[in-house]
Amino acid sequence: MIRQALKILVAGVMIGCFLSPPPARSSDRDDTLLMFVGEDLEVLSIASRREESARQAPAVATVVTRDMMEKDGLFTLSEALNQTPGFYMARQEWGSRPYLRGVPDSVLFLYDTVPMTSDITKSIHPLDEELSLAPVKRIEIIRGPGSVLWGPDAFAGIVNVVPLTGKDLNGVETGADYRLPGNSRGAYVNAGHDGGAWDGFISLNARDSVADDRTGNIKRFWGDGSGTPVPPGDRYGSENADRPHFLEFVGNASLRDWATLSGRYSDYSRPYAMADENQQQVWIEDRSAPVNYLKLESKKNVALNSAIRFTGYYSSVDASHQVIDLNLAPKERTAYTELIFDQNVWSGKGLFTAGTAYRNTQVSNAPVWDSYLPGYLVPENETFLPTITGVDYRSKLWSVFGQYSHKIGKTDVSIGLRHDAHDFYDDSLSYNCALVWSPATDWGVKLLYGSAYRTPYTSQLLEKQAAGFKDIQTRLEEINTVNAELSWKPGQRLGLTLGGFVNHISHHVMENAYAGLSDPNSQKICGLELEGMVSPLEDIEISANLTATRNTGPDEVYRYADGITIDPNDGSADTNYTELRYPFDTGPNRIFHLMARWKPFGRVSLFCRTGYTAPIDVICPTCVKTESISGVWLTDMGANFRDIGVFGLDAGVYLNNVTDKDYQVPGTYSLIDGEPFSVRVLLKKRW
């Protein structure tokens, strides 16, 4: 289905690009140009649940605009976040894994304010080609807790992907790209209409990507359900992963400010090869977790200075995970409603926001592994299969929250509080306070404090399920963060920001591919974030950022099954467990990025960016000591050409990883190759 849709979409895009109408007259261009309202102001909506400048928002905030995505050749959310201070995108066999300020899997990802993460697993995120940036207006980023306004899982930060609307695109835009090596190709169509009282937007994206070139040597293992693995003589053969395929549909429609209906549908398949630590056992897996939703928003002004806003959505995750010849199909269904009341007070100097929310989530057949899979795949094992338990549960969450902000001279002060009442794990109380001071137009100071919580892993809920959801109190992971930021921006051609943070994490639990869940832990992570921009000439811009972190706290403690003892008298089996201690996984402790942009001509722009990632610890299940891999420098560059031949026809050429083409990164069970050198060509047309 996805492959056929891609062929049709690519053909349509190419026909539209080359057989499009003649260049528009000047009187027509106003009706067909993309208008990105507010992008130059870096509008942010997730810090206070209202649109405001990122610089004045009560949060450490960054906005990646559509113009920046196009100029810098950004095609995925992972690429956009990787350039942002505090973020590290770890390459895994199945995609990218996000680290923010030294905490893995700690970001709440939203698409048009709808969560894109799942309770089934915390290790799957929409960071790569399953989420296209083609229909995206901007990416809003907050570094720091955000549970007061966004509930659990807004742990170390929030990322909100804002799609285009009919107000932003009044016309049609199509695009197609091709990438080597691997013959990866994709295409999209965006269409929008601004009808004054109403507007609408739709987008269709399709892509097939590069296949994993590693060859698997295990084709069968789980067998026919008899409870024993396939005999070693029948397991082995040669198998390669198929090409990944991605399909995405996004749409929205608004009637004045009164109501907005929006939705997203995604379907994808991402096969990949896995290997044990010695690269002896290699097998093929396929994992996907598409998040689809339908959302309704409504707003009603009840008085001159007050309004009521309603949000309701229904989202679904029909996940799949194929491990050799075993197919797992967990599902998740979520219904969410929220009611918010806004009131301006003190002649507009104060804003009071209060709200209540209800979330009902149903999870079925979520898999919980209790064993180290590669240990079972060895030919010596002819008897045992790993234990996989399917977990079914329903969770209900009632929330009430409020936030008040007040302007005192050149200072904005805000304070917020939220209470989350869960039905079968501990209630939580999160809070924040912020001071934003602008002593002069070119200076800004932010002092922030906040807390957040994270819902339990499915493995933790398995224990509660066994206890009838009664006897075990599951404490939520908690983070308390202090942020400080000093910014100086005397003009559009110069800016500097210096920030620091301290994270205190308690009741922390980590999920490890070798050993399940760690014992509860606590950590203190301190960090420094520095970013700056200078434009020495009108057509040249240079920017850079640096992130440095340091953590203190005890090692992670895991217990994993390393063998089975069979009683010769009655044949019963006892599992032997080994205790492991690993350092807390913060990712690299230093990350540096440098970007240069040059516009030599009015219709041509060039960029070059290079980045350094410090050495990373490698943790394996049988290692006596922790080793590390060397740091790596990576460089990307590209060129954009606008209005080539006819108005609205643009092209781009992008080179990725042009310097270090041979490096490795930690995978799930073993080291894997980093991203290779690649060339991508993009062609798009507006009319």
Residues 459-486 pLDDT 10s: 776 655 554 444 444 678 899 999 999 9
Q: Is the N-terminal amide bond of 271 cis, ω within 30° of 0?
A: no
- Residue pair 398/421 in contact (Cβ under 8 Å)? The answer is yes
Cα dihedral 63→66→67→71 (10° resolution): 100
- Residue pair 253/198 in contact (Cβ under 8 Å)? The answer is yes
| Res 58: pLDDT | 93
- Residue pair 555/581 in contact (Cβ under 8 Å)? The answer is yes
Question: Considering the chain, what is the average pLDDT of its residues?
Answer: 87
What per-residue string of b and e applies to 478-513 under the rule 16 or more CB within 10 Å gives b? bbbbebebebebeeeeebebebebebebbbbbbbbb
Max mean pLDDT range (109-113, 456-460, 474-478): 109-113
Give the tokens for residue 287. 């994992």
Name all domains of the chain by residue range, CATH numbers in brackets.
2-686 (2.40.170.20)
- Residue pair 217/179 in contact (Cβ under 8 Å)? The answer is no
User: First CA to last CA across the chain, in angstroms?
Assistant: 29
Give, as one character, the DSSP assignment of residue 441.
Answer: T
Gap between the Cα atoms of 325 and 305, Å rounded: 61
Gap between the Cα atoms of 104 and 156, Å rounded: 9
pLDDT range class, residue 73, cuts 50, 70, 90: very high
What per-residue string of b and e applies to 197-221 under the rule 16 or more CB within 10 Å gives b? eebbbbbbbbbbbbbbebebbbbbb
What is the tally of helices (H) and strands (E) in the chain? 8, 46
Q: Among 82, 84, 94, which residue's Cα sits nearest to residue 63?
A: 84
Say if residue 621's pLDDT is above 80. no
Length of the chain: 687
- Whole-prediction pTM: 0.90
Ranges 115-129, 201-215, 555-569: which has the least confidence: 555-569
Say if residue 562's pLDDT is above 70. no
| Res 622: pLDDT | 59
Say if residue 407's pLDDT is above 60. yes
pLDDT in tens, 641-667: 999 888 889 999 999 999 876 788 888
| Res 29: pLDDT | 31
- Residue pair 179/679 in contact (Cβ under 8 Å)? The answer is yes
| Res 42: pLDDT | 80
- Residue pair 445/439 in contact (Cβ under 8 Å)? The answer is yes
Say if residue 6's pLDDT is above 50. no
| Res 571: pLDDT | 66
| Res 561: pLDDT | 63
What sign for the dihedral angle of Cα 391, 467, 371, 580? Answer: positive
Residue 661 CA from chain centroid, whole number: 25
Gap between the Cα atoms of 127 and 266, Å rounded: 13
Average pLDDT in the 536-545 region? 95
Say if residue 574's pLDDT is above 80. no
SS3 content of the chain, % helix, strand, coil (to 5): 10, 60, 35
Gap between the Cα atoms of 96 and 111, Å rounded: 17
pLDDT range class, residue 118, cuts 50, 70, 90: confident
pLDDT range class, residue 389, cuts 50, 70, 90: confident
Regarding predicted confidence, which is higher, 520 or 539?
539
Regarding predicted confidence, which is higher, 52 or 558?
52
pLDDT range class, residue 416, cuts 50, 70, 90: very high
